[in-house]
Chain A
Amino acid sequence: MSALLDDPDTIASLTGGALEQLPYPVVILDRDLRLRLANAEARERLKPPSAEEDPCPPFASVLARSGRIPADVRLRILSCCGAEVRGRNAPGKHDAVFAMSPGHTIALYARPLGHDRWMVVLEDRRRGADSGMAAEENQCDTLTGIGNRRYFEEQLAGALREDDPDRQPAILVFDLDRFRAINDLLGRSGGDALLRAVVGRLRRATRDADQLARLEGDQFAVLQLNGHAADNLAARLVDLLSRPYLVRGEVVTVGISLGVARAPGDGDSAAALLHHADLALREAKEAGGQTWRRFGQSMADRARSRLDLESDLRKALVLGQLTLAYQPKVNLRTQTVTGFEALARWSHPKRGLVPPGLFIPVAEDIGLIAPIGDWALRAACEDATAWPEPLSVAVNVSARQLDDGRHFLAQVVASLRESGLPARRLELEITESALTRRPDEARSLLRELHALGVRISMDDFGTGYSSLSQLRTFPFDSIKIDRSFVSALDGDNDAAALVRAIATLGAGLGMAVIAEGVETSGQARMVAADGCTEIQGYLISKPIPAAEIRALLARDLSVALAS
């Protein structure tokens, strides 16, 4: 028997030689939950320290050292042993079964032996024989020990086949908010440790009958065979799993976003339920995260209409439904038009005029913004050749277009060559936020464009996170002050101070300063007094079709400016 035996006569007489031979781990603990004896199987599995190292090590540290049992299961094993040792209830009342992974549980039996000793048996229970083991390998998430997507889909499909009206399975799907940023902070193995801690809390918060799975990355799912209380579990999970974690010595705060879908109302197939829970999760995420949503038909309707919009938008370019409208910019000193900003318009036969605020973000999401940008660039250059010298055309450039700088540069060169528009009459408007993603690449691209003679303008200045050094190191010819500052001018001294500061800054750096969104002559006078050189906005004109430009150029603008 083991060298750990502290009182050979007593123990041996109690257990006989059989203990050593048993095919599952058996340990004997004292009142302080210290390990006094481990049979061959327990020594093999738990690798306790030798008698010389520590004759009676704490069972807690033996379990921890073994590295085979998740922390939450370890704590539950210890609390069962502790309860048995304290003799709160009749012997055996604290026996328990712990779920380790799909098809794998540990059954615990603890019994008093007398003489201040307790016997604890830990029995591995695995579903099926060797074939079952192989299936388990395919269905188990090796990182966390819970099921994987395949396992979850099978369990869910099985639950939906049971035709029991009282049992209405529910699924809860959740992911971590900002997990990527946390992974970057902690490193890959720290991120994995966090995912294991999340699963530890998930196990504690759920019942053994609930099926758990990691679907992918940081996305998890729970299947409740009887989902009447799924909403309660959702609220509990958001509370418990969003509490701070201690991982590798760091305090980590992460929220979860969760979606709930229940059969049969929210879907009667595994695919439909998972899809709908995912839609609910997206809604929770869009609401700011760290919350949960129950699937509702309106979510499916919104998803449907969004898909329709995407499909229509994909066709819009080839069907010629996109056009450009032009809004003039006026020099405040000369009171003449200096150029026009090209703005995309989508006119759909059934939808009517779709506002750019609605379709541009969709185009960005589905990768259509670059083709639309290419088209706008060509069309604007062509239109502008019909205008008198030296009127310029300004085209908006999205962050996505800057991502593929070579392609964009080639498009600019081709548009100028094919239209015959001189480079100095083309202006590219770039927002601050487009520059922040990869500033070095953006800077060298803009310098190349500038060297061609193209003018560069910083759009929506004051709304992003650009630093003053960006103004200096990027080749900007002009700054456009965001319309929100201009509309705040009436009665807001802070806005006026900011406009004045930006105008002074631009003048000092030799840049033109354009105030956007000027709607009244009062605003025009104020931005002029603050040092802006040009204005754009409804005071002069709304965006107009190319065909109306000649008529606009014939107008006397001093009337509008003086009124």
Chain B
Amino acid sequence: MPKTLRRLIYCSRNAIPGDAVAAERTIQDIVLASRRHNRVAGLTGALMFTHGCFVQALEGPRDALEDVFERIQCDERHRDVTVLTFEPVAERAFSGWDMEYLGDAETAGSQAAAAATLNGAFRQEARSADSVLALMRGVVAREKVWAGV
């Protein structure tokens, strides 16, 4: 079982000290670091930052996910980490993305949907993992269209 593919999705609240500019800079560092690490560990995924909250999807082998989650949990730049799903999956939803970043610019068209989805997610409402995944995939798909991929 440890070799089977799993998907982890969690949401958390921003605790980066300082203003929005500091947060944006720190998040860019986080994204770069996580891309490097994920490439080595065989993980793919996406990180969304909106309404002061992080939502991250990570996919890969179970052990690698459990290892990286420990690092995520010890990061004091966020809090209220809420695990939405940690389930075996048949295929990757973000294959090709070491860590796609979806910030305010990317989620601009989905602000209202994102807020509603996040509210449900922190309350761990039923199917909130599915809603979050659909939201992230929707933004990624639109990104690809704009980029002409």
Complex Cα spacing A205 to B76, Å: 10
Complex Cα spacing A197 to B63, Å: 12
Size bracket, chain B contacts: 20 to 34
Complex Cα spacing A197 to B39, Å: 23
Complex Cα spacing A246 to B73, Å: 10
CB <8 Å contact, B1 and A75: no
Checking A74, A244, A251 against B67 with a beta-carbon cut-off of 8 angstroms, the contacting residue is: A74
Asked if A306 is at the interface (CB within 8 A of a chain B CB), the reply is no
Residues in B neighbouring A60, C-beta threshold 8 A: 37, 40-41
CB <8 Å contact, A64 and B86: no
Residues in B neighbouring A72, C-beta threshold 8 A: 70
**Which residues, 62 to 92 on B, are CB-close (under 8 Å) to A?**
62-67, 69-71, 73-74, 76, 79, 81-83, 86
Checking B6, B40, B70, B83 against A78 with a beta-carbon cut-off of 8 angstroms, the contacting residue is: B40
Asked if A59 is at the interface (CB within 8 A of a chain B CB), the reply is yes
Residue of B nearest to A85 (CB): B36
Checking A58, A61, A64, A71 against B70 with a beta-carbon cut-off of 8 angstroms, the contacting residue is: A71
Complex Cα spacing A466 to B79, Å: 40
Contacts A244-B81, A246-B83, A249-B86 given; indicate if A82 touches B70 (C-beta within 8 A).
no
Asked if A200 is at the interface (CB within 8 A of a chain B CB), the reply is yes
Asked if B8 is at the interface (CB within 8 A of a chain A CB), the reply is yes
Number of A residues whose C-beta is below 8 Å from B?
29
CB <8 Å contact, A251 and B86: yes
Complex Cα spacing A176 to B83, Å: 20
CB <8 Å contact, A239 and B79: yes
CB <8 Å contact, A244 and B83: yes
Q: Mark A244-259, 1 if CB is under 8 A from B, else 0.
A: 1111011100000000
Q: Mark B29-67, 1 if CB is under 8 A from A, else 0.
A: 000000011011110000000000000000000111111
Residues in B neighbouring A245, C-beta threshold 8 A: 69-70, 73
Residues in A neighbouring B81, C-beta threshold 8 A: 243-244
Residues in A neighbouring B63, C-beta threshold 8 A: 64
Checking A33, A58, A74, A244 against B73 with a beta-carbon cut-off of 8 angstroms, the contacting residue is: A244
Complex Cα spacing A197 to B81, Å: 17
Asked if A201 is at the interface (CB within 8 A of a chain B CB), the reply is yes
Asked if A317 is at the interface (CB within 8 A of a chain B CB), the reply is no
Complex Cα spacing A318 to B41, Å: 70
Asked if A204 is at the interface (CB within 8 A of a chain B CB), the reply is yes
CB <8 Å contact, B66 and A247: yes
Smallest CB separation, B38 vs chain A (Å): 10
CB <8 Å contact, B70 and A201: yes
Complex Cα spacing A363 to B64, Å: 51
Residue of A nearest to B83 (CB): A251
Residues in B neighbouring A59, C-beta threshold 8 A: 40
CB <8 Å contact, B73 and A75: no
Residue of A nearest to B84 (CB): A251
Residue of B nearest to A75 (CB): B71
CB <8 Å contact, B73 and A201: yes
Q: Mark A206-248, 1 if CB is under 8 A from B, else 0.
A: 0000000000000000000000000000001001100111110
A-B contact pairs, 11 of them (CB 8 A): A33-B40, A58-B41, A61-B41, A71-B70, A200-B70, A205-B74, A236-B76, A239-B79, A244-B81, A244-B83, A250-B86
- Sort A-B residue pairs by CB-CB distance and give the 5 closest, nearest first: A204-B74, A60-B40, A246-B66, A58-B40, A243-B73
A75-B70, A243-B73 known; 14 other A-B pairs, CB under 8 Å? Answer: A58-B42, A61-B42, A82-B36, A82-B37, A201-B74, A236-B76, A240-B74, A240-B76, A244-B73, A244-B81, A244-B82, A244-B83, A245-B69, A246-B86
